[in-house]
């Protein structure tokens, strides 16, 4: 791999020598007008723009077509204009799923952020050995591949012989002895939420702990001198100092949870009765399983628009920060 | 007095409880995988595998096409990760070290691409691959995986490249190195840990990828381990021992890689994602 890198870099070098005049040769890379930076970013730019752009355009075109099983087999193109969009927007199912996705995302993100931050702050208070122990647990959960975790949680919450039902039964909640977790809407979402929170909290906790170590200790000493309690110290020192961290992490979690497909789909394929479909799963089931490809594409475009709207504030902030920096 | 004792004890107690909560599912996966069947399906769970058996692992490995899935997973993951590393290294060097027109636009495109909801665009990609008559083959998977991993790799590596002091490179050039030589002899060795940490996340993403392979590969010959694992229960009924053995086999490579590289990776991730 390294050989390949060198070769390409070396191949890109000569134009630089030609482009820059001898006196500025050492700084030529930093001057605009040299071909080197363009050659370096070319593969990444072409690959991303072409493939991603193509997918986006294809997605847009498909959403304007009446493309079902019949048209797919005949390879026929039937344009319907905005028909798929008006159908989707006029469909109460779509709005129910949208509301469900937003509530689902909000609930998960709040849980992840609160639990993650509490654990992060706890890590900062612990002695060395216990901190290492807890970090080990967090890292294990963090490292577990999503697909494996999903299977494991199916086993934990299994109706027969599942350890969760056994423990609930032993704790005195006998109605849970043979409880079918995937039989109801709320209980299915409960399992999915526990699963997502379990695997997402470590990221927040470990990073928050790492971030707290960058807060100057003097700030806490000053706050303590002023008689600030635990809560006050959090709101007046920790939170303001880590504001960028909280903002970035919260919005990243919103994006990740909102578009999560694997966990929701694998646990119960959106069931029972399609009651646990979130937008990505809904688009998938409509488009791929029910073979309404045009409709599914329209739903996917609307999903992206909703996600962009939800994260617009953060996206604008990120873009602005980048612009200030450059 | 009592209160201060309580104050000293609760963080530790909470930590231990949390530790158990986070470790238990992982433990239970391995424990179930090694337990004899009569211990898995019993009215009272057996908390420790007292008579460990590798029976379930044999069943999992001997399942139809297991080695095909392993090979496919390894090929798609390694090719996608290496490809994105090479492409990203070039680009990240340019944006970390050079000023040029269009640099900002390029970075913004990468940031948008990084946040693109891939899971939602499966239908469009399916149609493209179908039109190209490439369903049930690995190249379309590799292409989409590379695309998913690339933006993150570019932006993270940029941080690592920027962290290598420019003076090192310049002094190497004063000593007579050309820029490519300076890159190879000075920067690249310093970048190696960053490259490994970055590739870890690419590896995890690709190894886990589910929706694309689900729709692109109906033919087992072109399927990867996530499909095998999620289909395992349906194939084997409720054979939880074998399913957990399969999960363990799937998880172990990632767990090992992650624990080894975690410290560096976390630092890199935060510096890439959250700039102060």
Residue A229 · residue A235 · CB < 8 Å: no
Reading chain A (326 residues) residue by residue, the pLDDT tens digits are: 333 332 233 333 333 333 333 333 444 444 445 888 899 999 999 999 899 999 999 999 999 998 888 888 888 888 888 989 998 999 999 999 999 999 999 999 999 999 999 999 899 888 888 988 998 899 889 889 999 999 999 999 988 888 898 889 889 888 888 888 988 899 999 999 999 999 999 999 988 888 888 888 888 888 888 887 778 888 888 888 888 888 889 998 999 999 999 999 998 888 788 889 999 999 999 998 899 999 999 999 999 999 999 988 888 887 787 777 65
Q: Quote the CA–CA distance of B118 and B148 in Å, as a whole number.
A: 7
Which chain A residues contact residue B41 at CB under 8 A? 160-161
Alpha helices in chain B (DSSP H): 2-34, 37-40, 55-61, 66-97, 103-115, 122-131, 138-163, 166-174, 179-182, 188-208, 211-216, 225-236, 240-273
For the cut 90, the answer to whether the pLDDT of residue B25 exceeds it is yes
Residue to mutate among B15, B203, B232, with most A CBs inside 10 A, is: B15
Q: Quote the CA–CA distance of A12 and A37 in Å, as a whole number.
A: 9
Per the document, the length of chain A is 326
Q: Tell me the pLDDT band of B108, cut-offs 50, 70 and 90.
A: confident
Q: Quote the CA–CA distance of A245 and A263 in Å, as a whole number.
A: 26
- Condensed to tens digits (0 to 9), the pLDDT of residues B116-144 reads 888 889 999 999 999 899 999 999 999 99
Q: How far is B151 from chain A (nearest CA, A)?
A: 8
Per-position DSSP letters for B99-151, written without gaps between them: --TTHHHHHHHHHHHHH--GGGGHHHHHHHHHHTT-TTSHHHHHHHHHHHHHH
Which chain B residues contact residue A16 at CB under 8 A? 179
Q: Pinpoint the residues of chain B covered by CATH 1.10.3720.10.
A: 65-273
Closest residue by Cα to residue B14 from A118, A109, A164:
A118
Confidence (pLDDT) at A77: 83
Residue B159 · residue B271 · CB < 8 Å: yes
Confidence (pLDDT) at A252: 87
Which chain B residues contact residue A34 at CB under 8 A? 98, 100
Q: Quote the CA–CA distance of A267 and A146 in Å, as a whole number.
A: 12
Q: Quote the CA–CA distance of B138 and A48 in Å, as a whole number.
A: 19
Residue to mutate among A44, A298, A307, with most B CBs inside 10 A, is: A44
Pick the CATH number of B65-273 from 1.20.1090.10, 1.10.3720.10, 3.40.50.620, 3.40.50.300: 1.10.3720.10
Interchain pair B210, A148: CB under 8 A: no
- Higher pLDDT pick, B271 / A5: B271
A149's CB contacts (< 8 A; 6+ apart) are A195, A198, A199, B25
A218's CB contacts (< 8 A; 6+ apart) are none
Confidence (pLDDT) at A270: 82
Confidence (pLDDT) at B265: 52
Confidence (pLDDT) at B178: 83
A204's CB contacts (< 8 A; 6+ apart) are A112, A113, A115, A116, A117, A119, A120, A249, A253
Interchain pair B90, A8: CB under 8 A: yes
Interchain pair B120, A259: CB under 8 A: yes
Which chain B residues contact residue A293 at CB under 8 A? 123, 126-127
Q: Quote the CA–CA distance of A65 and A84 in Å, as a whole number.
A: 8
Residue to mutate among B98, B99, B154, B258, with most A CBs inside 10 A, is: B98
Q: Quote the CA–CA distance of A197 and A113 in Å, as a whole number.
A: 9
Q: Quote the CA–CA distance of A322 and B55 in Å, as a whole number.
A: 55
Q: Tell me the pLDDT band of B259, cut-offs 50, 70 and 90.
A: confident
Q: Tell me the pLDDT band of B150, cut-offs 50, 70 and 90.
A: very high
A300's CB contacts (< 8 A; 6+ apart) are A59, A63, A280, A283, A287, B120, B121, B123, B124
């Amino acid at each position: 791999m390294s050989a390949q890198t060198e070769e390409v870099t070396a191949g890109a070098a000569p134009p630089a020598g030609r482009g820059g005049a001898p006196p500025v040769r050492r700084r030529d890379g930093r001057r605009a007008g040299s071909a080197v930076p363009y050659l370096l970013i070319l593969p990444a730019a072409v690959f991303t723009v072409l493939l991603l752009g193509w997918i986006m355009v294809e997605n847009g075109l498909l959403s304007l077509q009446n493309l079902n099983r019949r048209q797919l087999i005949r390879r026929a193109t039937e344009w319907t204009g905005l028909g798929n969009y008006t159908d989707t927007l006029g469909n109460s199912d779509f709005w129910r799923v949208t509301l469900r996705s937003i509530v689902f995302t909000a609930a998960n993100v709040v849980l992840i952020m609160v639990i993650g931050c509490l654990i992060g702050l706890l890590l900062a208070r612990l002695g060395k050995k216990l901190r290492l122990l807890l970090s080990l647990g967090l890292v294990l959960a963090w490292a577990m591949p999503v697909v494996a975790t999903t299977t494991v949680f199916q086993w934990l919450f299994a109706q027969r012989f599942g350890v969760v039902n056994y423990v609930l039964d032993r704790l005195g909640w006998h109605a849970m002895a043979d409880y079918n977790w995937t039989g109801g809407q709320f209980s299915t979402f409960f399992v999915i939420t526990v699963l997502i929170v379990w695997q997402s909290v470590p990221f927040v906790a470990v990073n928050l702990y790492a971030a707290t170590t960058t807060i100057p200790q003097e700030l806490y000493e000053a706050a303590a001198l002023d008689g600030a309690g635990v809560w006050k110290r959090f709101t007046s020192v920790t939170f303001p100092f880590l504001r960028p961290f909280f903002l970035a992490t919260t919005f990243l979690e919103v994006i990740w949870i909102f578009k999560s497909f694997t966990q929701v789909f694998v646990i119960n394929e959106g069931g029972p009765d399609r009651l646990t479909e979130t937008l990505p799963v809904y688009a998938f089931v409509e488009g791929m399983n029910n073979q309404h490809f045009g409709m599914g594409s329209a739903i996917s475009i609307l999903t992206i628009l909703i996600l962009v709207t939800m994260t617009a504030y953060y996206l604008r902030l990120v873009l602005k920060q980048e612009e200030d920096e450059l | 007095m009592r209160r201060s004792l309580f104050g000293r004890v609760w963080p530790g107690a909470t930590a231990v409880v949390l530790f158990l909560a986070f470790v238990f599912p992982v433990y239970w996966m391995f424990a179930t995988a090694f337990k004899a069947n009569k211990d898995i399906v019993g009215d009272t769970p057996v908390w420790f595998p007292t008579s460990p058996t590798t029976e379930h692992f044999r069943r999992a490995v001997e399942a139809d096409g297991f080695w095909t899935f392993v090979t496919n997973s390894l090929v798609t993951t390694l090719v996608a990760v290496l490809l994105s590393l090479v492409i990203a290294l070039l680009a990240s060097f340019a944006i970390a070290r050079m000023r040029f027109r269009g640099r900002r636009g390029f970075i913004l495109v990468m940031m948008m691409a990084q946040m693109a909801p891939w899971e939602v665009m499966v239908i469009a990609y399916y149609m493209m691959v179908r039109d190209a008559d490439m369903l049930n083959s690995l190249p379309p998977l590799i292409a989409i995986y590379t695309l998913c991993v690339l933006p993150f790799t570019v932006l993270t590596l940029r941080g690592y490249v920027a962290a290598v002091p420019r003076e090192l490179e310049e002094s190497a050039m004063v000593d007579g190195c050309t820029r490519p030589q300076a890159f190879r002899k000075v920067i690249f060795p310093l970048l190696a840990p960053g490259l490994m940490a970055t590739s870890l996340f690419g590896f995890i993403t690709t190894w886990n990828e589910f929706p694309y392979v689900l729709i692109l590969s109906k033919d087992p010959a072109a399927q990867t381990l996530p499909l095998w694992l999620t289909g395992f229960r349906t194939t084997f009924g409720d054979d939880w021992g074998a399913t957990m053995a399969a999960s363990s086999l799937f998880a172990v490579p990632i767990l090992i890689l992650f624990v080894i590289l975690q410290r560096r990776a976390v630092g890199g991730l935060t510096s890439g994602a959250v700039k102060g």
